[in-house]
Amino acid sequence: MTTTDKLKEISKFLSYVLRHKPEAIGLSMDEAGWVAIDEILEKANRPISRELIEQIVAENDKQRFAISSDGRQLRANQGHSVSVDLKLKPKEPPAELFHGTASRFLDSIFEKGLVPGTRQHVHLSANVETALKVGQRHGKPVILAVPALEMHQSGHFFFLSENGVWLTHAVPANKLVLHDNN
């Protein structure tokens, strides 16, 4: 296994246990999603080291994880399906944000709007390029434009995660516009 493959495999493992199933390996997560790195090292059912965790945090292009200021804890920056309070403060978003998805989901989205599903928030991007990359992971990509500032001004809350992903609780279907990304 190459170093790149090993880092990717460990990153996926960390995403799984820190975002969705800490109980899968018996992790004790606090209300803000932090877990002691020593506990992860002790309970991980695979070869993993503090150095590998630090490398993943530093080099991951999506900046999925953060290490606490004292260097002792790790958490996912967003994307949780388990209940956590990331202590994010509402923030005024830019005029427009974007959501990348697959074309096969459009009927449902235009019926129900953007909903977090099993996660705590809907994820939005500040630019079309990032949204396109997200959409490509799920099939034929399409980009939806969201009038974020207008929604904010009418009472919707937006949050900016540590890694630059915009979060909100939901986007009503009548606020979504199919973006022409050609």
Task: Look up the CATH number of the domain holding residue 108.
Answer: 3.20.170.30
- Distance between CA 120 and CA 115 in Å, rounded? 9
Scan for tokens 């979060």, then name that residue.
Answer: 167
Per-residue model confidence as pLDDT tens digits over 16-62: 999 999 999 999 999 999 999 999 999 998 889 999 999 999 987 77
pLDDT band at 182 (very low <50, low <70, confident <90, very high): low
> How many other CB atoms sit within 10 Å of the CB of residue 69?
7
| Closest by CA position to 173, among listed 115, 121, 110, 118 | 110
Do 171 and 101 lie in one domain? The reply is yes
Per-residue model confidence as pLDDT tens digits over 129-171: 999 999 998 899 999 999 999 999 999 999 999 889 999 999 9
In a domain, 170, yes or no: yes
Hey, which bits of the chain come out as E strands?
A: 35-36, 65-67, 73-76, 97-102, 122-124, 141-146, 158-160, 166-168, 177-179
Q: Look at residue 18 in the predicted model and tell me its pLDDT.
A: 96
**Which of 43, 76, 109 is the last residue before a domain boundary?**
76
Do 145 and 72 lie in one domain? The reply is no
The helix/strand/coil state of 116 is coil
Per-residue model confidence as pLDDT tens digits over 77-86: 888 888 888 8
Range of the domain at 173: 97-179
pLDDT band at 181 (very low <50, low <70, confident <90, very high): low
